[in-house]
Structure 1
Amino acid sequence: MELFAVSNLPEVNEGDDLAALITEQVDLRSDDIICVASTIISKAEGRTANLDRFSPGPRARELTTALDSDIDPRFTQAVLEESVEVILESPFLLTETRFGHIGVNAGIDRSNVPDADLLLLPKSPTESAQRLHEGLPANRIIVTDTCGRPFRHGQRGVALGWAGLPPARDWRGETDRDGRELSATVENVVDELAAASNLLTGEGDDGTPVVVIRDFEWGDHGSSDAHFRDVDTDFVRQAVRGWSYA
């Protein structure tokens, strides 16, 4: 398979047609997978905000004080409004977004936002991917972001939303080379492709938020719609809920 970044994309503004912007810069083939950074999805959907939009309540002020840092309580309020649960309160805010993603500060970004203080994640990245898929019906779409991982240093790309393909390849019921049946393996393909695309989109001022993945083959495997873990089976989340930083 081949990956390449789409170059010469203009700065994206609210209301822009991303499908048109992409096709103006690259000749797409049928079944290309288009990985699009959530940054430009959010910009096109008007998900920028200034701090003065948020009035910190008692909970935001309490959390800000506990963090013992120079964080603006208005930023903490923004995190709360973008979250359904604060899983970890200190030494940083680890939260669940309204669409099921778990990350630091609800994924709110403060870089590459020239005309605002904050860039919020898309309200529903899978719905965003579906709208882009409607503009590019021959192509599969993955909305990506970067975040850290437990137990490892550094960030990597992850999938927040997708359209035109299932998120996971299901190997259960297949056999290994010794004939043993696989009973638990479900491969999160959209995360793997998002991580691969992040090698090209980068983390700084590259200005390449769209990557085309060409000639990826799903193979003769089943599929799964699983992506975000259910709370009842997310034992790490349950453990973190009961942990406090001292």
Structure 2
Amino acid sequence: MELFAVPDLPEVRPGDDLAELVEERVDLRPDDVVCVASTVVSKAEGRHADLDDFPAGPRAREIAATLEELAGEEKDPRFAQAVLEESTDLVMEAPFLLTETRFGHVGVNAGIDRSNVADADLLLLPKRPSESAERIRAGLSADRVVVTDTCGRPFRHGQRGVAIGWAGMPASRDWRGEHDRDGREMGVTVQSVVDELAAAANLVAGEGAGGTPVVVARGFEFGDLGGSDNLYRDLDGDFVRQALRGWSFDG
């Protein structure tokens, strides 16, 4: 498999056609997977916001005060309000805000970005990233699109790319019922291919000021295994989240 960044993309503005910008710069093949950073998807969809758009309520002020005490630095309650409004569940409120977004992704601060936002205070995640992926795919020569974001992981330091939206392919491929080299039947392995593609794309796109938010994965073959779009765990099977609900931070 080969991965390469789409070169010379301009600064994305609200209303820009991302598919058109990509098609103008690279000859795509039908079986390519186009991985697009959520940052530029949000910019094209006008998901900019200012802190003044989120007047802080009592809950947000309480959260900000707690975080300010723990961190020893000022915390803006309007940012806490923005996180609350972009979330359906507050999984952890200290020592940082871990939330579930409206489309099911669990991440810090509801994925709200404060970097590379020239004309506003905040950049919110796309409202419905898989629908965004489908709209981009409709304008491309390639059949598959993954919308990516960067977030941390339980039990490990550092961040890596993950998929928050996808179109033209299942989120995972199911190895259950297949056999390993010793003939043993595999009983639990479901491979999250959209996350793996997002992580690989993030290695090429990089972080910070690189300016290469779209990466093409060429030569990826899904194979003839079964697929599923069940990327996010239901609460009943998410034992980590269940444990966190009974836990409180003691700084």
2:46 paired with 1:42: no
Give, in whole Å, the separation in 2 of the partners of 1:29 and 1:16: 22
Partner of 2:20: 20
Amino acid at match of 1:11: E
What does 1:1-246 correspond to in 2, within 5 Å? 1-67=1-67, 68=69, 69-136=73-140, 138-246=142-250
Is the CA contact (8 Å cut-off) linking 2:32 and 2:216 kept in structure 1? yes
Give me the CA root mean square deviation.
0.8
Give, in whole Å, the separation in 1 of the partners of 2:74 and 2:87: 21
Amino acid at match of 2:124: L
SS at match of 2:119: coil
- 1:39-59 C-alpha deviation (Å, 9 max, x unpaired): 000000000001111100001
Runs of 4+ in 1 over 3 A off after TM superposition: none
SS at match of 2:169: coil
SS at match of 1:60: helix
Return the offset for 1:177: 1.2
SS at match of 2:55: coil
Structure 2 residues not aligned, in runs of 5+: none
Return the offset for 1:84: 0.3
Return the offset for 1:220: 2.9
Return the offset for 1:70: 1.5
TM-score (norm 2): 0.96
Return the offset for 1:65: 1.1
Give, in whole Å, the separation in 2 of the partners of 1:127 and 1:137: 18
Return the offset for 1:241: 1.2
SS at match of 2:227: strand
Give, in whole Å, the separation in 1 of the partners of 2:5 and 2:166: 18
Return the offset for 1:98: 0.3
Give, in whole Å, the separation in 2 of the partners of 1:199 and 1:6: 14
Return the offset for 1:225: 1.8
Is the CA contact (8 Å cut-off) linking 2:34 and 2:142 kept in structure 1? no
Give, in whole Å, the separation in 1 of the partners of 2:220 and 2:244: 37
SS at match of 2:146: strand
Q: How many residues are matched?
A: 246
Give, in whole Å, the separation in 1 of the partners of 2:125 and 2:75: 19
Is the CA contact (8 Å cut-off) linking 2:33 and 2:142 kept in structure 1? no
- 1:119-177 C-alpha deviation (Å, 9 max, x unpaired): 00000100100111111253200000000001000000000000000000100111111
Structure 1 residues not aligned, in runs of 5+: none
- 1:52-106 C-alpha deviation (Å, 9 max, x unpaired): 1110000101111111242200000000000001000100000000000000000
Amino acid at match of 2:62: E
- 1:190-215 C-alpha deviation (Å, 9 max, x unpaired): 00000000001111100000000001
What percent identity do the matched residue pairs reach?
70
Give, in whole Å, the separation in 2 of the partners of 1:101 and 1:220: 28
SS at match of 2:30: coil
SS at match of 2:157: strand
